[in-house]
Structure 1
Amino acid sequence: MKKLNRRGFITATTAMVLLALQPWTAVAKTPENQLVVGFSMANVLTLDPAGAGGKERVQIITNLYDNLIAIDPADRTALKPELAESWTVAQDGTSIRLNLRPGAAFASGNPVTSEDVVWSFKRVLKLNLAQATNFKIRGYTAQNADENFIAIDPQTVEIRIPQKTDPKIILLTIAMTGPGSILDMKTVLENEKNGDLGSAWLATHAAGSGAFDLQVMTPNEMVVLKRNENYWGAPATMDRVIMRHLPESQSQRLLLGKGDLDIAYSLSAGDLSALEKDKDVKIINEVGNGLYYLAMSVKDKALSDPKVRQAIIKLIDFKAINDAVMKYYGVLHVDPIQIGLGGENNDTPPERDVEGAKLLLKEAGYPDGLQLSLHALSEPPFDNLSVAIQGALSDGGVDVKLITGGGETVYGPMRKREFQLLVGRSGGQVSHPDGDLRSIVHNPDNSDEAQLSGLLSWRVSYRDEELNNKIDKALFMAPEQQKAEYAKIQQIYRDRVPAIQAISQVTDSVAIRGDITGLTISPVWQTRLSTVGKAR
């Protein structure tokens, strides 16, 4: 038999999967042993856990990699064991010791050791991609990693805390998919090229210990996960999970209605509303992780003026936009701290005031209005949200040119600080008020050279030294005092006119076939599919 090369193998595997999809339209039923998911891969640029964030990417990686500890899906502020069966915080709060689960192995069969854990954390910092920021803002650097991530013995890891902080913040950080994902060091280094620590290979491959392993990743087409037979926990219910790139909401709705999909992740409000009438479909809606926001770059001359930013905020009717555009996607929320973390104000949104906005623009030197560009993903709800904001701003004389496209088209210029306005969605912070404030408000170094691209505050060039200090001090206050201080910080941020204006708290709306069982939506995008089955 002729031996297939890697490209030939992938093509053949993809072809087999596509052939399996062909008869579904006729039988209107997905295979009993396979879960078929519709979602958008437009923003899935790599499967390397150290790379850029994004909801859809996290949804894949969570099922391929384990962390030392996990975030409880029932309570986003609580932690539970995963690869570490237990942990102890030092009495002085300067270190955490974690004991690994005996017998855990990667999909390759290699055992999970403390060396893999320590190497995974150090790798994030060495690559210095987006996920490194989650460690860097806690005082970790590539230079001090050796002294702070230590393999005590093959089953014991010690994490030292380089700067004073609440140890739970560190635990929440390593519970995040991305910075806390544990990689099979041996397998990754076998695929290293030119000192990239396996990053190019991991863009379309996996080296984890999760309930699933990666069978196929074809960008902007599909991802196929197969049950990991070496998984340390209960085996996945399904043999495979096929995640199909279906960016068109209507396509997902039609396929779900016919039974060709089991789960649809990326549906428009209109299609979700239509599916609510289908007796064979269920809609799950949960408050999720992140905020939909309008970003205004303070590096831009016009937007550096608080009066211009205030005028833009005054032109937006937050309630109307949420009612018209955000049903199924978000719930009205205008402050940086997310609902459910403690410290959020739940204040009423700013009132729309078109004449007041025009007056502010005139005072700022723009009596005839101004022209700005607005970046947004060309998918729901970003597309409709950007159009709604464009229309609202035009009433005040702000002419907005929309720039839409995929992840790199939209977020690429933002990471380089080369944009004016952008409609985005935050996420990936630790489940603590400090996580939101440290991403959206706190900016330790506003220089271009700092390259803190994981911080929204850095991306919009916003820095307020007083707020930085208040956020640092609040972390060590008693709970009630801390809650009051977080409310005060948010009010100051609002009064000084934010560069990141929250619009909605993310809600996750997922449509599933009525026979799907065992699906629990994670409030931080880390939804595990290993427990999902079919009642047939």
Structure 2
Amino acid sequence: MNVSNLLKYCALSIAISSTIVPSANAITPENQLVIGMSMDNLLSLDPASASGLDVVSVNSNLYDMLIELAPKEPSKISPAVAKSWSISEDGNRITFELRDDVIFHSGNKLTAHDVAWSLQRVLKLNLALASTWKTYGFTADNVEQFIQAKDDYTVEISLPEKTDPNLVLYTLGSSPSAFIVDSKEVLKHEKDGDLGHAWLTTNVAGSGPFQLRDWRAKDRVLMTRFDDYWREPSEMKRIVMRHMTESQSLRLMLERGDIDIAMGMSVPDIEALKKDDNIRSEATIRGTLYYVAVSMKDDKFSNKKVREAVRYLIDYKGINDSIMPNYGVLHQRPLKLGLDATLPEPGYALNVQKAKTLLAEAGYPDGFKTSIRVLSQLPFINIATSLQSTLAQAGIDAEIITGTGNQVYGAMRERKFEMLVGRGGGGIEPHPHSSLRSLVYNPDNSDEAKLTNFQGWRTGFYSPEINTIIENALLEKDAQKQIEMYQDVQNIYETQIGAIFPVSQMLDTVLLRTDVKHYEGHQAATTRLREVTKER
């Protein structure tokens, strides 16, 4: 290592150390934001494969998108790298005109070729983030034909299949697959045709307001301000994200001023900190739902009366009052809250006697034995324990089986479960189809179809009537008629007693020191920190 590089390395090491070692009277620097959060699911930074809320919150500050969705009004689209866009009259083509003053951290200019290549790369690698694009008809074989750079600053996306172009716009403004990567820089690190995947797992090739300086798995992420950012540079010179999973440690460090923001805290610690004048809380509604699911591949739950009995054996009010504060809010529809098409709550409530009557009519007067798969973490395990108790009141003896995400959701993907407490439902895009595609839609119920991205398929719920309405609603150009069609789906789902019973919509509660200003949590987890300031 030469002297110049050695000095740079030492300076970076000192900077990192100074950000993470608390002093007796700790207070973070004015131009530095320190965040305590879990990084358990921060496994890869590659936008083509990096699913999970942890990595989205990181990459949102290292990369740019064509467009952005407003944090509190996600149906409102704002320009970003694309200064304007237009939809063809037939709805089959979206054309974007790009800014010409955006540069990557490498110094390369960002052009339409980078945008097209980034999206093409997602389909060609065919990793986790390709799923949404495949539902629009894009494939590794056709993506170069349908996503093209027409010149240096014009991108054209043609839709392989008829769909609502607004849904595609929402995906471009919310999906981590839509981050724009520096194609020239990435291809320098390509190995064995991997399109730079191995390198991008731990490195970044973006144009965002911050640059990655250091990432140590389950330890810390250090970002520094990118002074050549096309927007006004951030007042924060550094963003430090520290891996912290113990709620009490987060609470202590936030109280002392060792960190500015804490995420993933327990309810008791959140409630205690709400009483501290130096700390405030901010809650953001996410699009995902906590739910109870049953498998209609199981003979018991294929019986409609049994499913209806289960619906009466969930203590919705008790769960939301005692377990879900700061985790979720009561919601019982498959569409997320806040959409014009979302119907009012149906008012399902615990009714043991009604459930017993339905079970007797279904041929189970004495109940039966079953199992509930669930993650062994809050609030999932608490919901499962509540469910176990209320099921028992009607004679259903349910064994709780805990496990990791792969063990719980893996069994669901293989359609080898009976009951499950989980969280999901898409809902990232502010469009009814996003929720219904994930929770209800199931175009092929055969085992061979392996439609593992559709939770309707995972549970074995199959309704040709609902499928047809969802498909037609997506193409309906009359906005009011489209809303009515999505409302019809909810009513039919209620009548047919679907296999997923939403209990609560996810609430993400963040605690901040009161001197942190202009922080806005985003419903799609694309929380951007470029405008955060401190007032002391």
2:163 matched residue in structure 1 = 165
For residue 153 of structure 2, the aligned residue among 155, 177, 181 is 155
- Aligned length, in residue pairs: 531
1:76 matched residue in structure 2 = 74
Deviations 1:12-57 (A, max 9, x none): 9679635532234x12211222211122222333222222532223
Give the partner amino acid of 1:159: I
Deviations 1:135-166 (A, max 9, x none): 12122222221221011011110000122222
Gaps of 5+ in 1: none
What secondary structure sits across from 1:88 in the alignment?
Answer: strand
CA distance in 2 between partners of 1:403 and 1:246 (Å)? 27
Task: Indicate if the aligned counterparts of 1:443 and 1:457 stay in contact, CA closer than 8 A.
Answer: yes
Shift of 1:403: 4.3
Please identify, of 279-288 and 514-523, the stretch whose mean Cα deviation from structure 2 is larger.
279-288
Shift of 1:499: 2.2
For residue 180 of structure 2, the aligned residue among 179, 182, 205 is 182
Give the partner amino acid of 1:485: M
Task: Indicate if the aligned counterparts of 2:220 and 2:242 stay in contact, CA closer than 8 A.
Answer: yes
1:523 matched residue in structure 2 = 523
Give the partner amino acid of 1:17: I
Give the partner amino acid of 2:533: G
Deviations 1:179-233 (A, max 9, x none): 3221122222333333333333333222222112222222222222222234221
Please identify, of 62-71 and 189-198, the stretch whose mean Cα deviation from structure 2 is larger.
189-198
CA distance in 1 between partners of 2:115 and 2:494 (Å)? 41
Deviations 1:277-326 (A, max 9, x none): 10100112243332222233334454444344333222111111111111
Shift of 1:479: 2.3
Taking the TM superposition and a 5 Å limit, the aligned residue runs for 1:30-45 are 30-45=28-43
Shift of 1:331: 1.4
Give the partner amino acid of 2:504: S
What secondary structure sits across from 1:165 in the alignment?
Answer: coil
1:467 matched residue in structure 2 = 466
Over the aligned positions, Cα root-mean-square deviation in angstroms equals: 2.7
- Pairing 1:354–2:335 present: no
What secondary structure sits across from 2:353 in the alignment?
Answer: helix
- Pairing 1:222–2:240 present: no
- Pairing 1:210–2:196 present: no
Could you say if the C-alpha distance between residues 422 and 348 of structure 1 is closer, same or farther in structure 2, counting changes exceeding 3 Å?
Answer: same
2:486 matched residue in structure 1 = 486
1:57 matched residue in structure 2 = 55
- Pairing 1:255–2:256 present: no
CA distance in 1 between partners of 2:399 and 2:311 (Å)? 17
Deviations 1:92-151 (A, max 9, x none): 221111011112112222221111111111122122223222112122222221221011
Give the partner amino acid of 2:341: G
CA distance in 2 between partners of 1:530 and 1:13 (Å)? 21
Task: Indicate if the aligned counterparts of 2:373 and 2:403 stay in contact, CA closer than 8 A.
Answer: no
CA distance in 1 between partners of 2:63 and 2:448 (Å)? 32
2:431 matched residue in structure 1 = 432
Please identify, of 267-276 and 442-451, the stretch whose mean Cα deviation from structure 2 is larger.
442-451
CA distance in 1 between partners of 2:433 and 2:115 (Å)? 25
Task: Indicate if the aligned counterparts of 1:100 and 1:156 stay in contact, CA closer than 8 A.
Answer: yes
What secondary structure sits across from 1:504 in the alignment?
Answer: strand
CA distance in 1 between partners of 2:448 and 2:227 (Å)? 45
Gaps of 5+ in 2: none
Could you say if the C-alpha distance between residues 441 and 517 of structure 1 is closer, same or farther in structure 2, counting changes exceeding 3 Å?
Answer: same
Taking the TM superposition and a 5 Å limit, the aligned residue runs for 1:400-415 are 400-404=398-402, 406-415=404-413
- Pairing 1:287–2:309 present: no
For residue 296 of structure 1, the aligned residue among 294, 297, 304 is 294
What secondary structure sits across from 1:179 in the alignment?
Answer: helix
- Pairing 1:21–2:4 present: no
Task: Indicate if the aligned counterparts of 2:352 and 2:393 stay in contact, CA closer than 8 A.
Answer: yes
Normalising by structure 2, we get a TM-score of: 0.91
Deviations 1:55-93 (A, max 9, x none): 223212212221111112241111011111111111222
Task: Indicate if the aligned counterparts of 2:374 and 2:408 stay in contact, CA closer than 8 A.
Answer: yes
Please identify, of 217-226 and 154-163, the stretch whose mean Cα deviation from structure 2 is larger.
217-226
Please identify, of 157-166 and 344-353, the stretch whose mean Cα deviation from structure 2 is larger.
344-353
What secondary structure sits across from 2:202 in the alignment?
Answer: coil
Task: Indicate if the aligned counterparts of 1:268 and 1:381 stay in contact, CA closer than 8 A.
Answer: no
- Pairing 1:496–2:496 present: yes
Shift of 1:409: 4.5
Please identify, of 513-522 and 47-56, the stretch whose mean Cα deviation from structure 2 is larger.
47-56
Normalising by structure 1, we get a TM-score of: 0.91
Task: Indicate if the aligned counterparts of 1:372 and 1:401 stay in contact, CA closer than 8 A.
Answer: yes
1:391 matched residue in structure 2 = 389
2:510 matched residue in structure 1 = 510
1:443 matched residue in structure 2 = 442
What secondary structure sits across from 1:484 in the alignment?
Answer: helix
Task: Indicate if the aligned counterparts of 2:383 and 2:421 stay in contact, CA closer than 8 A.
Answer: no
For residue 246 of structure 1, the aligned residue among 244, 247, 252 is 244
CA distance in 1 between partners of 2:219 and 2:529 (Å)? 20
CA distance in 2 between partners of 1:434 and 1:102 (Å)? 34
Could you say if the C-alpha distance between residues 448 and 142 of structure 1 is closer, same or farther in structure 2, counting changes exceeding 3 Å?
Answer: farther
Shift of 1:3: 9.5
Could you say if the C-alpha distance between residues 59 and 154 of structure 1 is closer, same or farther in structure 2, counting changes exceeding 3 Å?
Answer: same
Task: Indicate if the aligned counterparts of 2:341 and 2:486 stay in contact, CA closer than 8 A.
Answer: yes
What secondary structure sits across from 1:27 in the alignment?
Answer: coil
Task: Indicate if the aligned counterparts of 2:61 and 2:528 stay in contact, CA closer than 8 A.
Answer: yes
Percentage of matched positions with identical amino acids: 42
Could you say if the C-alpha distance between residues 408 and 105 of structure 1 is closer, same or farther in structure 2, counting changes exceeding 3 Å?
Answer: farther
For residue 275 of structure 1, the aligned residue among 273, 277, 280 is 273
Please identify, of 54-63 and 254-263, the stretch whose mean Cα deviation from structure 2 is larger.
54-63
CA distance in 2 between partners of 1:244 and 1:341 (Å)? 35
2:84 matched residue in structure 1 = 86
CA distance in 1 between partners of 2:437 and 2:375 (Å)? 23
